[in-house]
């Protein structure tokens, strides 16, 4: 029987399933949803939702390691320490260090004082390598100027790998990043205050329009740089800052006594800012989904839906994030 795979961007438009349905993610992108019938060392047998009488066999070489882990995890005896350790070894061999840690830790908990030194060593080594990997990723993010996301990786090391060698370096770098982030936010606030310091209603309206134009330009830069997620994210966030400054300025102008006869102009500006903000919230949220940072993506979808609870794009992405988080334990930063 022939079958096709609908390839979609990572983690996008994942459909919620029925009681027996499982989503299987494929290497190279795309996914299949249906009921898993069997899992051998070579193939995965399953039906496909919406295709009556379907039954396919998928070579395991085409299934993502993350999906294979979840399938194996769901079908093993989760109260068996040897089974948990064996799955941890499998995950460790494929570089799924966080998953391996989970399984080793579960086996240690089951065995308690009876746990072997070898099992304890496996857990410590997996934790150390996982911490080192996160530290390397954090440093790359710092080099790219993505300080807040880098700090989330470092904090994850301190929380989940406090005894690993990378923890000491993470602790020092968190202090440095906290200071850099604080100074950056202070400069942004000062810039916003300077932009908002207008002497007349007319000056304020002109400044707000310039900020809107600048936001439009930055959003286009973000879309143009979609091949570079870090650069696109910077442009989208800068566009958000410009739009939000414009919105704050219209509020300030509206409180001026001389603004009473310019109410229509102020309302017209606000009516252009809102849809632009909503669109760029969705843009940057989509960017974070592709980067695999579902927490940040969910935050920006929340901001978009606060502006328009019925926006179809924001609702679709929020649904995708919820489904992906339920099916993929790599949803949180550093995991």
Whether the per-residue pLDDT at 305 is higher than 60: the answer is yes
Supply the mean pLDDT for the chain: 80
How confident is the model over 27-66, as pLDDT tens digits?
877 888 888 888 888 898 988 887 777 788 889 889 888 8
Sorting pLDDT into bands at 50, 70 and 90, what band is 2? very low
42 φ, ψ to 5°?
A: -120, -35
Q: Span 271-277, mean pLDDT?
A: 87
CA-to-CA distance for 199 and 13, rounded, in angstroms?
Answer: 48
Lowest mean pLDDT among 15-24, 169-178, 228-237: 15-24
Q: Span 87-106, mean pLDDT?
A: 90
Strand intervals (E) in the chain? 22-25, 31-34, 36-39, 43-46, 56-59
Sorting pLDDT into bands at 50, 70 and 90, what band is 19? very low
Whether the per-residue pLDDT at 12 is higher than 70: the answer is no
Domain architecture of the chain: domains with CATH: 1-75 (2.30.30), 77-174 (1.25.40), 198-327 (1.25.40)
Residues 6+ positions from 104 with CB-CB distance below 8 Å: 84, 85, 88, 119, 122, 123, 126
| Length of the chain as a residue count | 335
How confident is the model over 147-176, as pLDDT tens digits?
888 888 898 889 888 888 888 998 999 889
Whether the per-residue pLDDT at 257 is higher than 80: the answer is no
CA-to-CA distance for 262 and 282, rounded, in angstroms?
Answer: 31
Q: What is the pLDDT of residue 277?
A: 87
Query: What is the SS3 assignment for 43?
Result: strand
Residues 6+ positions from 185 with CB-CB distance below 8 Å: none
How confident is the model over 102-144, as pLDDT tens digits?
899 999 999 999 999 999 999 999 888 888 988 998 899 888 8
């Amino acid at each position: 029987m022939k079958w096709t795979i609908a390839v979609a961007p990572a983690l996008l438009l994942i459909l919620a399933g029925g009681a027996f349905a499982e989503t299987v993610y494929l290497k190279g992108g795309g996914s299949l949803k249906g009921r898993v019938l069997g899992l051998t060392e070579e193939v995965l047998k399953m039906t496909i939702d919406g295709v009556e009488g379907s039954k396919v066999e998928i070579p395991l070489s085409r299934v993502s390691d993350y999906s294979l882990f979840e399938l194996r995890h769901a079908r093993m005896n989760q109260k068996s320490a040897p089974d948990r350790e064996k799955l941890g070894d499998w995950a460790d061999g494929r570089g799924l260090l966080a998953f391996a840690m989970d399984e080793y830790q579960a086996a240690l908990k089951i065995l308690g004082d009876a746990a072997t030194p070898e099992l304890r060593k496996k857990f410590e080594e997996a934790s150390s390598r996982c911490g080192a990997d996160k530290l390397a990723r954090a440093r790359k993010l710092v080099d790219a100027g993505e300080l807040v996301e880098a700090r989330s990786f470092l904090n994850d090391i301190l929380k989940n790998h406090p005894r690993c060698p990378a923890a000491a370096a993470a602790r020092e770098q968190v202090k440095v990043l906290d200071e850099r982030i604080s100074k950056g936010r202070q400069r942004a606030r000062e810039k916003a205050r300077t932009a908002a310091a207008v002497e007349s209603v007319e000056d304020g309206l002109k400044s707000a329009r310039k900020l809107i134009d600048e936001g439009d330009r930055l959003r286009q830069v973000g879309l143009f740089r979609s091949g570079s997620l870090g650069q696109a994210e910077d442009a989208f966030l800068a566009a958000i800052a410009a739009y939000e400054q414009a919105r704050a300025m219209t509020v300030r102008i509206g409180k001026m006594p001389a603004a009473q006869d310019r109410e229509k102009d102020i309302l017209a500006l606000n009516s252009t800012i809102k849809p632009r903000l909503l669109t760029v919230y969705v843009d940057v949220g989509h960017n974070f989904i592709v980067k695999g940072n579902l927490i940040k993506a969910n935050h920006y979808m929340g901001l978009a839906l606060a502006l328009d609870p019925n926006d179809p794009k924001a609702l679709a992405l929020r649904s995708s994030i919820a489904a992906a988080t339920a099916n993929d334990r790599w949803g949180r930063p550093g995991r």
